[in-house]
A and B are shown apart, each in its own frame.
Chain A
């Protein structure tokens, strides 16, 4: 590859956009840093430094250019976008893509529609709740109840999240609804084991992935990322636990 054939600001833009997209959609911290430095070196810049945290990315490539910062406000898990950024970075390292074209493709990914419609996601969450209830030792008689609670809980968390942009509140109210519904179904006689139904139904909400990712980041030396992901996970499980506990304490 010929050295510095592209203007540096363009290269920085590509790196930052790729990093932001990956971090927003649930990639691991080390993978984001790795991808950014690979893209930079594919464009002929051997020295690049990135500092990646869940809420922002710093990136600097040489002494003459100032370091740049990009803020990450919202984080979800969308592995399809991570895959697409990955394949673009692969294309860049084989030298098939200029920075300008790469920026264009990355922005298309950013604005791209969700892979699965809301209805399919809702069905998947409901089905997963029922299956988790069985896996955690529930009985098949409770399957419809768990499916119902899980589906309503997932719909509620999305609805409330659109209503108020506070993550804690939407998780609290969704798990409150789940607890209420599970208690009602048990009283009516549609469900037998209220505890199992609740655990199955909150599974689509609990931050299991976040907990594991947090410890993983801590072990690989990304201390800031690890701690902030851990705090995020604690807050989420606190919201869910509190929501259900309100119901249980009145039972």
Chain B
């Protein structure tokens, strides 16, 4: 578990470098990625990968929006870094590999689950944004 936390932190921060995230945001990127992977890793066995991705992404989205406000940087820096360990890139590659090897049933299965997980991540990002907007509109309404 400790190894998972450590590697997910390093991997996410390293991806921050690949995406040219500003230098002072790398530690936060690593933290967001670690948090997301922690949630995903500990819930994926009981909930299945799709719901686990959804849950992890909602959390990533909320934390990223907090960081974006705090450090005055676009949300995308933190959310992109955070979802990198979750995105089904490995699975997309696996699906394509099965297609190329003419194992069509397995390939279709993998492609479908890739789409489902990618959809869950996208829904999670949008949902966290909506939650954030609702939260702020409730909190700031009396002052306007």
Interface residues of A (CB under 8 A from B): 26-28, 31, 77-83, 86-87, 114-116, 120-121, 124-125, 127-128, 130-132, 134-136, 140, 199, 202-204, 206-209, 211-212, 214-216, 219-220, 233, 237-238, 240-242, 244-245, 248-249
A125: chain B residues at CB < 8 Å are: 14, 18
List 13 A–B pairs whose Cβ atoms lie within 8 Å, in order of A's numbering. A26-B19, A31-B74, A77-B19, A79-B76, A136-B90, A140-B3, A209-B84, A212-B118, A212-B125, A219-B126, A240-B96, A241-B93, A245-B96
A69 nearest CB across to chain B (Å) = 25
> In the complex the two chains form, what is the Cα distance from A226 to B19 in whole Å?
21
A209, B80: Cβ atoms under 8 Å?
yes
* Residue of chain B at shortest CB distance from A143: B7
Specify which of A77, A204, A241 lies most central, judged by the most chain B CB atoms within 10 Å of its CB: A241
B39 at the interface (CB under 8 A from A): no
Set B14, B74, B95, B123: member contacting A127, Cβ < 8 A: B14
A135, B85: Cβ atoms under 8 Å?
yes
Interface residues of B (CB under 8 A from A): 3-4, 7-8, 10-11, 14-15, 17-23, 37, 72-74, 76-77, 80, 83-85, 87-90, 92-97, 99-101, 114-115, 118-119, 121-123, 125-126
Known contacts A204-B18, A215-B119; is-contact A134 B74 (Cβ 8 Å):
no
A79, B122: Cβ atoms under 8 Å?
no
B50 nearest CB across to chain A (Å) = 13
A204: chain B residues at CB < 8 Å are: 15, 18
B90, A80: Cβ atoms under 8 Å?
no
Known contacts A134-B7, A215-B118, A242-B100; is-contact A128 B14 (Cβ 8 Å):
yes
B87, A211: Cβ atoms under 8 Å?
yes
> In the complex the two chains form, what is the Cα distance from A208 to B4 in whole Å?
20
* Residue of chain A at shortest CB distance from B114: A211
A82, B122: Cβ atoms under 8 Å?
no
A208, B18: Cβ atoms under 8 Å?
no
